Amino acid sequence: MTKGKLVFALHGEKLAGLWELVRIAKPGDRQEPWILFKKRDDRARSSDDYDVVTASPDSVIEHPLAADQATATAPSTSSLPSRAKKAALPAMLSP
């Protein structure tokens, strides 16, 4: 964070794999803008191969996947970090 970037893994329905949050603020900016990049890993796909907006245009909050479909696409427990703990998401996150 102090160097202006944060690398993390997501295990979601639409976003999965390694991601990098990079601070793009300039000296003197009133706010600290950040930009999100997908890291090149085994979960990365080209937009020609897969377009998540076309494949899954609905919000997963407004239109959750059916239970059988969610089970088929959810990451297996073994793919989660060993120290991962289930917890409710906070109302707001900030870097």
Structure tokens at 35: 């930009």
Structure tokens at 26: 């300039």
Each residue's pLDDT tens digit, 5-17: 889 998 887 788 9
Amino acid 18: pLDDT = 93
- pTM of this structure: 0.54
Quote the CA–CA distance of 33 and 47 in Å, as a whole number: 25
Each residue's pLDDT tens digit, 15-39: 889 999 998 877 777 877 889 999 9
- Cα atoms in the 13 Å half-sphere on the side-chain side of 30: 0
Query: 23, 5 in Cβ contact below 8 A?
Result: yes
Each residue's pLDDT tens digit, 34-65: 899 999 998 888 878 888 778 877 776 777 66
Query: 56, 14 in Cβ contact below 8 A?
Result: yes
Quote the CA–CA distance of 59 and 65 in Å, as a whole number: 10
Query: What residue spans define the domains of the chain?
Result: 1-41
